[in-house]
Amino acid sequence: MPGFELWSDVERKHLNDVVQNGVLMRYGFDGNRNGHWKAKELEAAINDYYGCKYSQLVSNGTAAVTLALLALGVGYGDEVIIPTFTFVASFEAVISVGAVPVLVDVDDTLTLSPAAVKAAITSKTKCIMPVHMCGSMADLDALQAICTEHNLVLVEDACQAIGGTYHGKKLGSIGDAGTFSFDYVKTMTCGEGGVVMTNREDVYISCDGYSDHGHDHKGVDRGADLHPIIGYNYRISELHAAVGLAQIGRVNEFLAIQRKNQAALKAILSTVPQISFRRVPDEAGDSCSFLSWFLPNGEIANAVVEELKAQGILAGNFYWYNNNWHYIRKWDHLKNAKTLSSLSPELKEKVIHHATKDFSVSDAVMSRCISTAISLLWTEQQIKEKGEKIVAAVKKFI
Ligand SMILES: *Cc1c(COP(=O)(O)O)cnc(C)c1O
């Protein structure tokens, strides 16, 4: 999965450009930069490679999700539909803009179930935010149809699916806005960083201004910029953008290795008829950063996980059902609305409501699922050994 595994002279060269001239900020200081505009160049490269009209780099993926919601006007009282299997950033971002996170079930795609989304729509729903977890995508045709029918906006959290596609279009470029994280463990990394991608000029202008204290960025003199809106600071630094600029040129290389390694591992696990695989709405578009597989039931999955742990080979295999960061079951801080500052009483009530909601549909999927992270460094021999050990562990319990 992570681009950091293949750290190289390309990253060192781009970083060195910035280190040499000492301009660490993305805006201004034109005279000192020696022509190096790493953030600007990376945004242009993102537009080109990921097929979107506009992109705004920010300090991390959580900021990107937050900014996408803000730029689409999601705020007080609005409900945002997000999946039960995601990363905590999804509900953090929604709550931070004063909106209501509405968590709904996932299906065997490990992403939002369109049927569950339909059932969750109310007069307050403003946005659907699918999260393309573990390298593969949500059923975007079905979700887009729901958005059109109910006049909702679609935000794709593609933080974990960099380079994946759906019907030929890059994930993150399809909704009203899409986001990537470039944190240290993502397919391409900046160390820390993120981006909002959009084809809507209005959304881009809002992202550009808000992420830099509301500056309109129209003047040549930063001090003379006007501030049409109250903004915030989500800026990325030139150092981080330099790493991203190196990595984006290598994404094709990373994806090719991921696809090859995932296929090799899948071929081994496929020899066990009781193992099935995550449904991928567009197989050709899987970024293959993970291989997600199902066992016949939760008891067997749990036993296999315990067996892998006992053998010291659990690392890289994720049992999300028991995970603190990614699945609703262990999110007591959300269910108890544990925030630092107080929420409005109505928002708090709707957040706490998740403690008593029935998520048995998600449980039935997630309790059977194990995801194996695909390394860029594996040799063919290592894949064979890993696969055979997993198969042996599974065969003990079926
Ligand atoms: C990594 C991630 C984020 C947040 O990214 P950060 O850069 O770590 O803030 C958001 N959503 C998903 C699905 C992620 O995996």
C-beta 194 within 6 A of ligand 1? yes
CA-183 nearest atom, ligand 1: 7
Centre of ligand 1 from the C-alpha of residue 87, in Å: 7
d(Cα 193, Cα 195) in Å, to the nearest integer?
7
Ligand 1 centre and the CA of 89: distance in Å? 6
Judge whether 124 counts as a catalytic residue.
no
pLDDT, tens digit, for every residue of 289-344? 999 999 999 999 999 999 999 999 999 999 999 988 999 999 999 999 999 999 99
Does residue 156 line the site of ligand 1, with CB under 6 A?
no
Question: Residues 6 or more apart from 83 whose CB is under 8 A from it?
Answer: 90, 103, 104, 105, 106, 111, 112, 130, 131, 133
Whether 130 lines ligand 1, by a CB cut-off of 6 Å, is no
Residue 151 φ/ψ region, left for φ over 0, alpha for ψ in the -120 to 50 degree band, beta for the rest: left
Look-up: residue for tokens 């003047």?
Answer: 219
Per-residue pLDDT of 133-176, as tens digits, reads 999 999 999 999 999 999 999 999 999 999 999 999 999 999 99
Rounded to an integer, the average pLDDT of 128-135 is 98
The domain at 252-395 falls in which architecture? Alpha-Beta Complex (3.90)
CA atoms 216, 217, 220, 224: torsion sign: positive
Give the mutation target among 181, 182, 196, 325 for probing the ligand 1 site: most ligand atoms within 8 A of CB: 181
Task: For 284-301, write each residue's pLDDT tens digit.
Answer: 999 999 999 999 999 999
How many whole angstroms from 317 Cα to the centroid of ligand 1?
Answer: 19
Beta bridge partners of 291: 372
Query: Residue 196 in 3-state DSSP?
Result: strand
Q: Is 70 helix (H, G, I), strand (E, B) or coil?
A: helix
Ligand 1 near 319 CB (within 6 A): no
Active-site residue (options: 170, 186, 350, 386): 186
Ligand 1, atom 6, residue with closest C-alpha: 61
Give the Å distances, CA to CA, from 88 to 61, 328, 331.
11, 9, 9
User: What CATH architecture applies to the domain 3-251?
Assistant: 3-Layer(aba) Sandwich (3.40)
* CA 86 to ligand 1 centroid distance, Å: 9
Per-residue pLDDT at 323: 86
Tell me the domain boundaries of the chain: 3-251, 252-395
The tens digit of pLDDT for each residue in 178-208 reads 999 999 999 999 999 999 999 999 999 999 9
**Residue 232 Cα to ligand 1 middle (Å):** 19
Identify which of 183, 184, 236 to mutate to test ligand 1's pocket (most ligand atoms within 8 A of the CB): 183
pTM check: above 0.85: yes
What distances in angstroms separate CA 128 from CA 31, 114, 358, 392, one per listed residue?
44, 10, 20, 41
Q: Is the CB of 61 under 6 A from ligand 1?
A: yes
